[in-house]
Amino acid sequence: MPMFVLVVNDVQHHVRASSDMPLLWALRDLLHLTGTKYGCGIGVCGACTVHESGIAVRSCQIPLSATSGKRYTTIEGLSAEGNHPCQRAWLEEDVSQCGYCQAGMIMTAAALIQRKPNLSDAEIDAAMSDHVCRCGTFQRLRRAIRRAAREVSKT
Amino acid sequence: MSSTRRAFLKTSTLVATSLVIGMELPESLAGKVASAFEPNAYISISPDNIVRLWITRSEMGQGVRTTLTMMLAEELEANWSNIRLEQATPGGRFKDIRLRTSGSGSTVGTYDALRKAGATAREMLIAAAAENWNVPASACRAERGTVVHVATGRKLTYGKLAAAAARQRVPDNPPLKNPKDFRIIGKPLKRIDGHGIVTGQAVYGIDVHVPGMLYAVMARCPFVGGKVASFDATKALAVRGVRHVAPVKSGLATGVAVVADHTWAAMKGRDALKVEWDQGPNADFDSDHFLTQMQDQLAQPQDGYFVRDDGDARKVLGSAAKKLEATYELPFQAHAPLETMNCVADVRKDSCEIWAPTQCPEVVQSETAKMLALAEDSVKVHITLLGGGFGRRLIADYAHEAVEVSRAIGKPVQMLWTRSDDMRCGFFHPCDVEHIAGGSDVRGRPIAWVQRSIGSDLSVVPYPTEEQKKNPRGYFNEGLPWGSFDNPYNFPNLKADFIPLNSPVPTGPWRAVFYPSPVFARESFLDEMAHAAEKDPLEFRLHLLEPGDVLKVGDAKIDRSRLIRVLRVAAEKAGWKRPLPQTGDRLWGRGGACNVYDEDCYIAQVAEVSVGAEANDVRVHRIVCAVDCGLVVNPLGLEGQAESGIIWGLSATLSGKIDFKKGAAVQSSFTDFEVLRMDQAPAIETHIVASDHPPGGFGETAVPPVAPAVVNAIFAATGKRIRRLPVSLQEATCSGCSINATARSQA
């Protein structure tokens, strides 16, 4: 079985696995980084979103064969103390309900506001509508993303 | 409060009993904190001032970890920042305490017991301090984790008092706070366990990993009632990482499990597995055809099961000056929580350990004990966080599967359902047909209401039981169908019956259980009657609730004045009479609906929608929600549940359904079972009506009124009456109804 060098949260891991194994399962079952969630396996729910060199991607759609030379960030590595502006805004607005989709949501939102802090509501809605939240936390999500974006644009 | 409806989801041993007072150490602390003060099962205070509180319900997003903590901490006068949470597990010191999480009953079912538990501890801490200072207990008071001697200002922390408190007499009836002195209950508090969620540290069922654990997925028979005819494991076993292939029979859908070193290998093994299915007796089952069979039952001349019979509704209807009737249809629904079903089981020779995201840990324990012929005490069940529950996790099928596989292979195993498994092979909210006929007198006053529900038993619970069915008034006594049985409106002649027509599809509790279908029909039909009488639908409802008296039906008491109040508040906040903005090519409308959930939660909603020219272009812009559910423990939590319930209801209104063709569910993921996304989510305003009544439950209350409020708004906008969900404007007609498609609320 081939060996892959996975760079996740600034740590280099050597994993031996089949080349078609999605990054999602390598993170969860091999590295035990379980903050990244399985929701659909076909890239439509967003629960497995991570950053690939700063861009939000669906880890269930990335085979290990496509990970070489990339740097990945998961929810566990988004901030050292769990205090990324999105994480703080999420707590401040009390967004999470069951919470299962939220890591994916936070990763998408974090990449989004990093790229463009002065987002319109329509842009927020458009970006976040690729995520499924069965608890329907959308109203507070909107508020949290606006709050985090305000903070990022100040700094 | 007495409620047969809420009670139906209990099992015989799960009735919450009076507080267990004892000194048994919890397993997790045994030997570690010898001098901890543990006046009861819920509380442990150690010398380092840490207050451990045991949460006796499953957290699935409804906020129980926060709500239950608030109730305990209020009476305990705990210092919020010193609180640590523990999840209660079945058996041991929780043997006689209900852990099952269902029926919006967590707040209702724990409020008294948790307050008493907190007050017990507080009084014992005060007694210990008084003893230490040699002053009367009445000269001391508890305050944020300390006891204070009021006259001198001396203080002792709970940690310092723990050992002495443990020696105090346990009071039988500790005084409870006057609600006006509450400093935690009633305050909007953010959830206590949020940090773990936003940092990826929170542990859901799927995140559990125990040493030596293997990963399993299953090829599941897609045909309802079908089974495995034969399978060939050769190719599956050839997939690298696959360790075992084993048939599984203990779940809802039988199948073949593939067990591997990790999930991906198990999935690939499952793809490689060759299985021949015996399609079973339902290979022709088709949900559209079933719907036709249900409609055929509407004309059945004999009464169905008794639901309610006031006055002489049939006769009065027959002689009514004006008569209206309509039929409403609702499809099968999936729960589709984002965390698919999963469970870790470790079956050993004389014991079993289980980690499950479950709403029914007692059932997991007792049924596993039966499966393995073990004593219940030998089955340890850990409850993880739940990535959504919605009733799906009230059934332990997926835990049984994990147990069966672990037993077969002799190793700990995680059983994981794929999204497609979850969508197609679980159980479903039953489809339903409702027919209502209403009559008015010559002056246009409504005088008769006849509602017939064609629905299904909940086959996986099962409910009603065969015993309950033997009682001719059984459906009435058990309160099925909800929403028809407890119709709050004042019709002097009201008849409701229920005809069960069971399909082979496994059916069970879904968010708001039986309420959504009868309430959809009832609140839609009231709107139809109001328009037919050329009355304002809100005024029409208010008139039917006058004089605001208390309706007694079965063992339920419905206070119409509370429903009137929430209707008025919702209408006022929504600006019911204000014209809507008319934008370009869209038609706008407002619609309302209300409901009483389980007699103690009163809710009204007003929806604002617009309809465009494109096919099925319906947008819900705003929903105003007014609620009286008694004392609110956490207003912030309630608001979140209102938003959540409304979005849940909107998904089912606008897009959600499961079809069955050729004996199998058609939809398989979020691509074809569409749930509401953020760009479709309306602005939601929740208004809490202050109330002195005891707390009601609110996890499900916001769901039932959404669909009728939206279709009533669509009617106001377009004159099109939607009587089948999910909404399809192309299908909307006015047949079977005497109204013309002319009504507009664009005054």
Report yes or no on B681 lying in a domain. Answer: yes
Report yes or no on B275 lying in a domain. Answer: yes
Q: Tell me, yes or no, whether B557 and B492 share the same domain.
A: yes
| Angstrom distance (rounded) from CA B403 to CA A47 | 27
Q: Tell me, yes or no, whether B653 and B564 share the same domain.
A: yes
Report yes or no on B734 lying in a domain. Answer: no
Which residue is closest to A39 within chain B, CA to CA? Answer: B338
* Chain B partners within 8 Å of A94 (Cβ): 190-191, 194, 636, 640
Q: Is the pLDDT of residue A154 over 90?
A: no
Report yes or no on B482 lying in a domain. Answer: yes
- Inter-chain CB proximity B675 and A134 less than 8 Å: yes
Indicate the burial class of B142 (C-beta count within 10 angstroms; 0-12, 13-18, 19 or more).
Answer: buried
List the domains of chain A with CATH numbers: 3-77 (3.10.20.30), 85-154 (1.10.150.120)
* Mutation site, B58, B264, B342, B624, interface A, largest A CB count within 10 A: B264
The A residues from 31 to 60 touching B (CB cutoff 8 Å) are 32-42, 44-45, 47
Q: Tell me, yes or no, whether B436 and B395 share the same domain.
A: no
pTM: 0.94
Q: Tell me, yes or no, whether B269 and B406 share the same domain.
A: yes
Q: Tell me, yes or no, whether B153 and B212 share the same domain.
A: no
* Mutation site, B59, B199, B423, B624, interface A, largest A CB count within 10 A: B199
| Angstrom distance (rounded) from CA B297 to CA B299 | 5
Q: Tell me, yes or no, whether B441 and B575 share the same domain.
A: yes
- Inter-chain CB proximity A76 and B199 less than 8 Å: yes
Which whole-number Å values give the CA distances from B738 to A153, B417, B668, B741, in the listed order?
58, 49, 40, 10
Which token pair is B299?
């004309």
B680: closest CA of chain A, how far (Å): 8
- Inter-chain CB proximity B388 and A74 less than 8 Å: no
* CA dihedral sign, ordered B227, B230, B235, B236: positive
The confidence score (pLDDT) of residue B474 equals 59
B707: closest CA of chain A, how far (Å): 16
| DSSP at B150 | T
Query: Of the candidates A75, A77, A67, which has an alpha carbon nearest to the alpha carbon of residue A26?
Result: A67
Q: Is the pLDDT of residue A1 over 90?
A: no
Q: Where are the alpha helices (DSSP H) in B185-286?
A: 194-198, 234-238, 263-272
Which residue is closest to A93 within chain B, CA to CA? Answer: B190
- Inter-chain CB proximity B671 and A42 less than 8 Å: yes
The confidence score (pLDDT) of residue B497 equals 93
The confidence score (pLDDT) of residue B287 equals 98
Map tokens 């629960």 to a residue.
A47
Query: Of the candidates A13, A12, A17, which has an alpha carbon nearest to the alpha carbon of residue A2?
Result: A17
Fill in the amino acid letter for B589.
G
Q: Tell me, yes or no, whether B358 and B321 share the same domain.
A: no
CATH number of the domain within which B456 lies: 3.30.365.10
Q: Tell me, yes or no, whether B231 and B90 share the same domain.
A: no
Report yes or no on B421 lying in a domain. Answer: no
The confidence score (pLDDT) of residue B20 equals 27
Q: Tell me, yes or no, whether B608 and B702 share the same domain.
A: yes
Last residue of a domain, one of B144, B167, B198: B198
Q: Is the pLDDT of residue A69 over 70?
A: yes
Q: Tell me, yes or no, whether B275 and B292 share the same domain.
A: no
| Angstrom distance (rounded) from CA A133 to CA B80 | 30
Which token pair is B660?
């069955």
pLDDT tens per residue across span B233-273: 999 999 999 999 999 999 999 999 999 999 999 999 999 99
- Inter-chain CB proximity B680 and A45 less than 8 Å: no
* Chain A partners within 8 Å of B209 (Cβ): 32, 34
- Inter-chain CB proximity A134 and B648 less than 8 Å: yes
Q: Tell me, yes or no, whether B292 and B253 share the same domain.
A: no
B55: domain range? 4-198
**ipTM, interface predicted TM-score of the complex:** 0.98
Q: Are B725 and B653 in contact (CB under 8 A)?
A: yes
Last residue of a domain, one of B383, B416, B449: B416
Query: Of the candidates B665, B663, B633, B646, which has an alpha carbon nearest to the alpha carbon of residue B709?
Result: B646
- Inter-chain CB proximity A136 and B643 less than 8 Å: yes
* Count of CB pairs separated by less than 8 Å, A with B: 186
The confidence score (pLDDT) of residue B463 equals 81
* Chain B partners within 8 Å of A124 (Cβ): 678
Report yes or no on B606 lying in a domain. Answer: yes
- Inter-chain CB proximity B215 and A29 less than 8 Å: yes
Q: Tell me, yes or no, whether B215 and B327 share the same domain.
A: no
Map tokens 């597995």 to a residue.
B273
The A residues from 111 to 150 touching B (CB cutoff 8 Å) are 124-126, 128-142
pLDDT tens per residue across span B573-603: 999 999 998 777 899 999 999 999 999 999 9
Report yes or no on B47 lying in a domain. Answer: yes
- Inter-chain CB proximity A139 and B670 less than 8 Å: no
The confidence score (pLDDT) of residue B456 equals 87
Confidence of residue A34 (pLDDT cuts 50, 70, 90): very high
Q: How many domains does chain B have?
A: 3
At residue A77, what are phi and psi to the nearest 5 degrees? -110, 10
Q: Are B1 and B108 in contact (CB under 8 A)?
A: yes
The confidence score (pLDDT) of residue B461 equals 86
- Inter-chain CB proximity B647 and A136 less than 8 Å: yes
* Residue spans of chain B under pLDDT 50: 1-32, 734-747
Which whole-number Å values give the CA distances from B578 to A83, B569, B571, B583, B607, in the listed order?
44, 15, 10, 15, 13
A99 touches B at CB < 8 Å: yes
- Inter-chain CB proximity B190 and A17 less than 8 Å: no
Report yes or no on B739 lying in a domain. Answer: no
Last residue of a domain, one of B150, B180, B198: B198
Cα dihedral B667/B670/B672/B674 (nearest 10): 120
